């Protein structure tokens, strides 16, 4: 992989982690400031908090990989395990974030809960299919 491609990929992943982490953090703040103190709201806060810290971890790793690559002007292959772990954490964070979206609908009503859960499950399946397909293509098969 060329340095330019590596920088574009790590930059895109850092951007994705930063934006989604910001949304997850905004959800945590919103639910913390609400007057509703039910267990469902608490579970939603915990879920969005977990996705926030997962996004933050991935963001820091991708920014550091970006900076290292730019400074060395070569792809740091010895840091591949850290980058792979950050990518897996990012995928997990997206799925946890979707779980938070599914939970948040149940706070409003049963109908909203069913709808947000269905949307989150459908989106999770699509995302996992895309990552699976990309892994198969990258493996050459």
Q: Which domains does the chain have, with CATH numbers?
A: 3-138 (1.20.140)
Task: Give, in order, the Cα–Cα distances in Å from 39 to each of 1, 31, 53, 73, 103.
Answer: 48, 12, 21, 50, 11
| Band of pLDDT at residue 139, cut at 50, 70 and 90 | confident
Give the tokens for residue 24: 């997850």
Q: Encode pLDDT of 90-119 as tens digits.
A: 999 999 999 999 999 999 999 999 999 999
The residue with tokens 């330019």 is: 4
Q: Encode pLDDT of 14-73 as tens digits.
A: 999 999 999 999 999 999 999 898 999 999 999 999 999 999 999 999 999 999 999 999
Angstrom distance (rounded) from CA 88 to CA 21: 15
- Is the pLDDT higher at 141 or at 103? 103
Can you give the pLDDT at residue 141? 66
């Amino acid at each position: 992989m060329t340095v330019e491609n590596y920088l574009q990929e790590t930059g895109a992943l850092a951007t994705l982690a930063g934006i989604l982490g910001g949304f997850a953090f905004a959800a945590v703040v919103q639910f913390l400031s609400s007057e509703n103190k039910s267990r469902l709201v608490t579970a939603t806060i915990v879920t969005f908090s977990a996705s926030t810290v997962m996004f933050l971890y991935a963001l820091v790793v991708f920014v550091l990989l970006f900076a290292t690559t730019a400074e060395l002007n070569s792809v740091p292959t010895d840091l591949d395990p850290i980058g792979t772990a950050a990518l897996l954490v990012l995928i997990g964070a997206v799925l946890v974030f979707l779980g938070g979206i599914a939970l948040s609908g149940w706070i409003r009503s049963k109908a909203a809960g069913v709808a947000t859960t269905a949307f989150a499950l459908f989106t999770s399946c699509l995302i996992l299919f895309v990552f699976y397909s990309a892994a198969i293509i990258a493996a050459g098969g």
